[in-house]
A and B are shown apart, each in its own frame.
Chain A
Amino acid sequence: MKTDVAAVDVHSLEARAKDLRREILKMLTEAGSGHTGGSLSAADIVTALYFYKMRHNPATPKWEERDRFILSKGHAAPVLYAALALSGYFDMQLLRTLRKLGSPLQGHPCSKKLPGVEISTGSLGQGLSIANGIAMGLKIDKSGSRVYCLLGDGEIQEGQVWEAAMTAAHYRLDNLCAFIDNNGLQIDGHCCDVMHIEPIVSKWESFGWNVMDINGHDMKAIVDALNSAEAVKHKPTMIVARTIKGKGVSFFEGKVEYHGIAPTSEELEMAIKELEN
């Protein structure tokens, strides 16, 4: 599909994705726990959404005409927090409080505590159903707003995801665009070893979705996919984004251990240096 991306400054988006990665690493190191790998793998997608595609207003988080983002893979909370802070939803300093008692930055996103979080997530497999419901509501109101949802690849092992896949296609939710952050790893190891999920693309196609298969770290590809999804009628879109867990920090990349642990301060120092180069 031909799309006009001339106006997009891909380089500045790439720089912004680096900012997100730096903030993710800093907040996780400070917190001492959390999900590093899956936050870094989703950084480019989330950057494209918050700093290119989505209509949103940090000064008025509940602005009615906003596009919605549902982080179904709620353990990647740091990437959402970084995007919200860098967008101006709250003070950057708040990122230092991640996972600490009294902080609005809960271990997994809580909509009642933090402006900009549409819905609390953390238990896997539930976000797409919620995104569907919002998309249905927007359609009733003939709203032009769109709904974006980010799922993990391990997450699609949950049966509810496929219930939601059927629902979105059945109700022709073309105002919905979802991503799978396909980094190939889950807590217990490689997805293909824990529970086979491939072929992802044809699975979603067979459920009646418009599916795109892209490199999830190629900013231009993400932007193109988002633009082309908007033109699709009567079908929801799934963008299968091939990513690398821990992307951006060589010694975290592809390492299953970094699913659920935070960097040490030494690792942080090295990681920041690497990002700057």
Chain B
Amino acid sequence: MGERAQTTAHAVQTAGRKQVATRDAYGAALLELGNKRNDLVVLDADLSGSTKTGKFAKAFPERFFNLGVSEQDMIGTAGGLSLAGKLPFASTFAVFQTGRAWEQIRQTVCYSNLNVKLVATHSGITVGEDGASHQAIEDVALMRVLPNMTVIVPADGNETRQVINTIAEYKGPVYVRLGRAKIPLVMPDDYVFNIGKAHAFHIGKDVNIVAMGIMVGMALNAAAKLQEENIDAGVINMSTVKPLDADVLLKAAEKSRVLITAEEHSIIGGLGSAVSEFLSETRPSTVVRIGIRDDFGCSGKSEELLTHYGLTPENIAETVRKALGK
């Protein structure tokens, strides 16, 4: 009962809480970090206004490199800077970072296990009106497949800030997936991010929803609705998609026979795939994946698109009911 009360509390908190875009939190975190670490260098590919690296550029022009419209060159240059002992953060839109420069990330960054941080913004369909060409819904899949790569998808602005500070201390390639739209702060005030550690708001006995990024807030709201129907739904923020938090997943699978994954990403290769792969080898469970179903995005307002592609609390709740046969 106490656990259930906790879920409700978080869900209610989510509804009224401040909205922050994760990219804005990134810009602020970089600026803060730039004062503390003089080995920090930042690269961008002509999108510093949108990725928010522009703030760092203004404060530390000698440690900022705009490579122009050339993502492949940016990744190689970041690799070189890391070889020279610098701590490079390279940013552009997720679709160009992971798609256009995938082979550079594979050959230069991951194969040599370089200390390069790739922080991509404008991921998912919430990019909005720009449409499919700018909506990265395959980026987690593309990064997850690379050896040595760590993949992190923060659920809100506060978690983003912690992620940036944490990965600055971690040695090795990291991909961080951020968004354009403002989203509510959902993580508890005392939450501490650790690479590879998920945060379980609550482990449910009927179902557990494993979510990443913007979908964490959605899942919390869905869980609150389900609770009113006497369905005990847990919510887990799997912000590190690689490496997955095996302990939390095993606990969740132990407690509920059904798991739901929720991601603003293709259901192929992303969080749903990662969770399914893990559980199929360790504790076979029913995993129902919520995400984009083998499709491209399209133009529209961010909220309209979330509804169009079924990425809403209502849709999560409905998926849970169906999975439970209710």
Contacts and interface: CB of A to CB of B under 8 A. Distances in A.
Contacts of B77: 129-130, 132-133, 136, 164, 167
Contact of A160 (B76, B82, B112): B76
Interface centre among B76, B79, B107 (most CB of A within 10 A): B76
B107 A136 contact: no
Interface centre among A112, A132, A138 (most CB of B within 10 A): A132
B104 A126 contact: yes
Interface residues of A, number: 33
Contacts, number: 109
A167 B67 contact: yes
Given A120-B108, A133-B79, A163 B84 contact: no
Nearest to B71: A163
Interface centre among A118, A133, A138, A170 (most CB of B within 10 A): A133
Given A136-B77, A140-B62, A163 B70 contact: yes
Interface string A92-112: 000000000000000000111
B76 A126 contact: yes
Contacts of B75: 129
Given A119-B79, A132-B76, A166-B68, 10 more contacts: A112-B111, A119-B112, A126-B104, A126-B107, A128-B76, A132-B77, A136-B77, A137-B84, A138-B84, A167-B77
Nearest to A171: B65
B163 interface: no
Interface in B47-98: 62-63, 65, 67-68, 70, 72-86, 88
Chain B interface residue bracket vs A: 20 to 34
B103 A167 contact: no
Nearest to B114: A119
B41 interface: yes
B84 A136 contact: yes
Contacts of A164: 73, 76-77
A134 interface: yes
Contacts of A120: 107-108, 111-112
A71 interface: no
28 contacts: A110-B111, A119-B79, A120-B112, A126-B107, A129-B75, A129-B80, A129-B108, A130-B77, A130-B79, A130-B80, A133-B76, A133-B78, A133-B82, A133-B84, A134-B80, A134-B84, A136-B84, A137-B80, A137-B81, A140-B84, A141-B85, A159-B72, A160-B72, A160-B73, A160-B76, A164-B73, A166-B68, A166-B70
Nearest to B82: A133
A118 B84 CA distance: 10
A128 B85 CA distance: 18
Interface of B: 41, 62-63, 65, 67-68, 70, 72-86, 88, 103-104, 107-108, 111-113
B235 to A, nearest CB: 40
Contacts of B108: 119-120, 126, 129-130
Nearest to B77: A133
A130 B79 CA distance: 6
A133 B65 CA distance: 10
Contacts of A133: 76-84, 88
B111 A132 contact: no
Contacts of A170: 68
A3 interface: no
A112 B80 contact: no
A167 B112 contact: no
Given A120-B111, A166-B68, A132 B80 contact: yes
Interface centre among B41, B63, B84, B103 (most CB of A within 10 A): B84
B83 A122 contact: no
A212 to B, nearest CB: 23
A83 interface: no
A135 B86 CA distance: 12
B83 A167 contact: no
A64 to B, nearest CB: 8
A131 interface: yes
B79 A136 contact: no
Nearest to B85: A137
A120 B103 CA distance: 13
Nearest to B111: A120
A118 B65 contact: no
B70 A119 contact: no
